[in-house]
A and B are shown apart, each in its own frame.
Chain A
Amino acid sequence: MTTKPEITIDHIGKDYGQITALGDVSFNIEPGEFLALVGMSGGGKSTLLRMIAGLETPTRGQVLFNHQTREDSAVVIRVMFQEDRLLPWMTVLDNLSFKSHDAQQQAEAKKLLHLVDLDEYAQQFPNQLSGGQKQRVALARALMSHPQVLLLDEPLGALDALTRRKMQDLILRICEQQQLTTILVTHDVNEAARMADRIVVMKHETNYAEFNGPADRHDAGQVGLVAEDVLDAILHDKVPES
C-alpha cells in the first residue's frame, strides 16, 4: 500500500428496498487529490461517502483502493462527520487516543492537538468546548494513526461563517501537509470551489458532471466563477462541454 492510494469507484450503486439512492457511479480519485461531492439533498453524496468508508455495503459495484478492496488493502480511512461525535465521558486528549491509551498514542494525540491549536484543552471534556473547538478535536481525532484517506461528511455545516472559513483553511493546510487523499461532501458550492482540486456534481442518482477547481484558490474571482458553473449544473442541468 502506498501512502497515497488511488480510489476507484467501480459501477457502484445502492438501493434501499424499492428506492434507488445511487444508480451507477464510476470515477477515479487520484492519489493525494482533494475531491468535493456536491449536489442537492438526496443526490446520493453521503451514501457514496459512507460506502467508501465501509459504513454501508453497496448493492452493486465496488470501491477499490490501489486496485484492492478495502478489506484486502491496508489503507487507513478516517471519517469526520457533520456532528463532532466526541465521547462526552472522555477528556479531549483521551478522545483522540480512545482506541488505545498507550504512550505512543498519547504522544501522537498531543502533537495533533497542537496542530489544531487546542493544547490547552487536552484535559477538558467535550461539553466544555464550543462547536468550532469540538470540530477541531474531531479533525485531530480523524488524523490519528496516520490515515491515507480522509472523508469529510459536511463537517463544517453547523458552524458560523467565520469559524467555517478558518476551519476550511486548517483542513486544507493539513491535507496538503500530509498529502491526504480527501473527499469532501458539502452543500456549499463556494466551499467546494475554494477547497477542492476537482468537484463532482451528484444528481439523478449518479455523478452528473465534473469541474476542475480554480487554478488559484486564493483568487475570489476564480473561485466564484467555478462555483457559478457548479451551481448551474445543479440547478439548471447546464453541463460544460468537455
Chain B
Amino acid sequence: MQKSVSLSPALPPKPKSRSFSFKGFLPFLIPVLVVVIWQLSSSLGWLSTNILPSPWAVLKDGVKLTQTGELPKNMSISLYRATLGLVIGGGLGFILGFLNGMSNTARLLFDSSIQMVRNVPHLALIPLIILWLGINESAKISLVAIGTMFPVYINTFNGIRNVDPDLIEMGKSYNLSKRELFQKIIFPAALPQVLVGVRYALGVMWTTLIVAETISANSGIGYMSTNAEDFVDMETVILCIVIYAILGKISDLVAKSFETLFLDWQTLGRSNN
C-alpha cells in the first residue's frame, strides 16, 4: 500500500483531551433502568415479593448479612477459592501453552492428549472430584483450576504459534539468543492472545465456583444461596446472584485493566496517517 509522506519533520500528534459526556453514562443506563422499573413494580404491587423481592429488600438483606458478618465471611472464602484456582489453573495453562508453543517435540507429545481432556466438560468431573477429595477446599479449588487451565493453555499456545514469523526472522538477523527471542519478541507478541485467555478464564472461574459451591460446600456465596433456597429466603438468593454479577463485572474490569496496562500500544491512534 502506498502512502504519501514527507521526510521533513512534522509535529507529533497531540494527545486527545478527555471530557465526561453522556457516552460515559450509557453503559450504566440499562442496569439503572432495570433496577428502577423493578423497584417501581414491587412498590406498586405489580410484582409479587414471593416471585421477586424488591431491590430495596435485597439491599436491606445485604446490609443485615454484612452486619452479622455472614456475607463478608462467605465472600472472602469464595474469592480465596476463585483466586487460588485461577492462579494454579492459569499458571499450568500458561506453562503448558509455552512449552507446546515453543517446542515441536513437546507439542507432539502433549497437545493431542491435552485437547482430548479439554473436550471433557470439567463440571462433569464434579462427582469424581467429590469422591476423590470430598467436599473440602481442595475439591473446589481443583475444579476451578481445571476449568481455567484450558482457556489460558489454548490461547497461550495459539498466541505463541501465531507470532509473525517476519518479526522472529528480524530478531534472528540481530543474532538474538533463543531466550532473548522469547523475552523480546515472542512473549510480547503473544501477550494479547494470552490476555484473551485470562479474560475468558475469569468467566469460567465464577461459573465453576458457583456450581461447585452449590453442590458441595458448607461456606461461600454458592452455599449461602443454596442454604437460603432451603429456607425460601428469596432476598438472600437474589443477593447472591447480584453479588456474582458484581464479582464477574469486577473480574472483567481487572482483565481490561491488564489489557490497558500492557497493550496500550494497540489503542494509540493513527492520527498522523
Contact = CB atoms under 8 A, between A and B. Distances in A.
A27 B45 CA distance: 95
Interface in B67-81: none
B1 A53 contact: no
A85 B168 CA distance: 9
Interface stretch (B6-14, B52-60, B130-138, B221-229): B6-14
- Interface of B: prevailing SS: loop
A119 B12 CA distance: 10
Given A131-B3, A132-B3, A160-B3, A88 B9 contact: no
* Interface size, B (range): 35 or more
Nearest to A91: B265
Interface stretch (B100-108, B173-181, B242-250): B173-181
B64 interface: no
Nearest to A118: B9
B268 interface: yes
A131 B5 contact: yes
A20 B1 CA distance: 31
Given A83-B166, A98-B184, A88 B265 contact: yes
A128 B5 contact: no
B9 A159 contact: no
Contacts of A163: 3-7
Nearest to B169: A55
A104 interface: no
B185 interface: yes
A128 B13 contact: yes
A130 B1 contact: no
Interface string A156-173: 001110110011001000
Contacts of A119: 9
Interface string A56-91: 000000000000000000000111010101011110
A127 B264 CA distance: 11
Contacts of A162: 4
Interface string A114-133: 00011111011101111111
Given A55-B172, A81-B170, A163-B7, A120 B188 contact: no
Nearest to A151: B173
A130 B9 contact: no
A73 B88 CA distance: 48
A99 interface: yes
B5 A130 contact: yes
Interface residues of A, number: 39
Contacts of A98: 174, 184
A85 B5 contact: no
Given A87-B167, A128-B13, A53 B269 contact: no
A158 B8 contact: no
A99 B3 contact: no
B265 A158 contact: no
B263 to A, nearest CB: 8
A147 to B, nearest CB: 10
Interface in A131-163: 131-133, 136, 158-160, 162-163
A151 to B, nearest CB: 9
A128 B169 CA distance: 23
B152 to A, nearest CB: 20
Contact of A132 (B5, B174, B263, B266): B5
B78 to A, nearest CB: 35
B7 A125 contact: no
Given A128-B271, A132-B5, 8 more contacts: A85-B167, A87-B167, A99-B176, A124-B12, A127-B270, A128-B268, A132-B6, A163-B5
21 contacts: A79-B173, A81-B166, A81-B170, A83-B166, A85-B169, A89-B191, A89-B263, A124-B13, A125-B268, A127-B265, A127-B266, A127-B268, A128-B13, A128-B271, A132-B7, A133-B5, A158-B2, A160-B4, A163-B3, A167-B7, A170-B7
The 8 closest A-B pairs by CB, nearest first: A132-B5, A131-B3, A130-B5, A85-B170, A166-B7, A160-B2, A125-B265, A79-B173
Interface of A: 53-55, 77-79, 81, 83, 85, 87-90, 98-99, 117-121, 123-125, 127-133, 136, 158-160, 162-163, 166-167, 170
